[in-house]
Amino acid sequence: MTEKLFFKIGDIAEMLKVTPSQLRYWEQEFNFLKPKKNDKGTRYYSQKNLVQAQLIYHLLKEKGMTVAGAKDFLERKKRDQTLEKLEVIATLKKTKSFLSEIRQLLDSEK
């Protein structure tokens, strides 16, 4: 299975369970979230942009921070270290999901 290189805003919104307008707002508030745009203005999010959006989602929705609080947090921490930690968390979540699927398969064979 190949991973997509770019995602449209609707794809990212669906993955994160937010609205496209929330993503556009995050682009305005967090200057590091800059998806590519074509001549028509269609946004194309790279894998790196996806990780950045996941970081913002994690801080705002899962940690319950305000936008101002998340900005302050990111200014105090090195952004790269935070993104690396989020990538590790994402990998662990994928591994957990994979192991859960294996467990379900094994349980269904009993």
Structure tokens at 62: 């899962």
What is the SS3 assignment for 1? coil
Overall number of domains in the chain? 1
Residue 1 lies in a domain: no
Domain assignment of residue 60, given as a range: 6-77
- CATH number, domain at 44? 1.10.1660.10
Residue 92 lies in a domain: no
83 pLDDT exceeds 60?
yes
Residue 107 lies in a domain: no
**How far, in Å, CA of 72 to CA of 67, rounded?**
9
Q: Contact, 36 vs 46, CB < 8 A?
A: yes
Residue 108 lies in a domain: no
Structure tokens at 33: 């979230």
Residue 65 lies in a domain: yes
Residue 15 lies in a domain: yes
The tens digit of pLDDT for each residue in 7-32 reads 999 999 999 999 999 999 999 999 99
The per-residue pLDDT for 78 is 62
Q: How many CB atoms lie within 10 A of CB 7?
A: 20
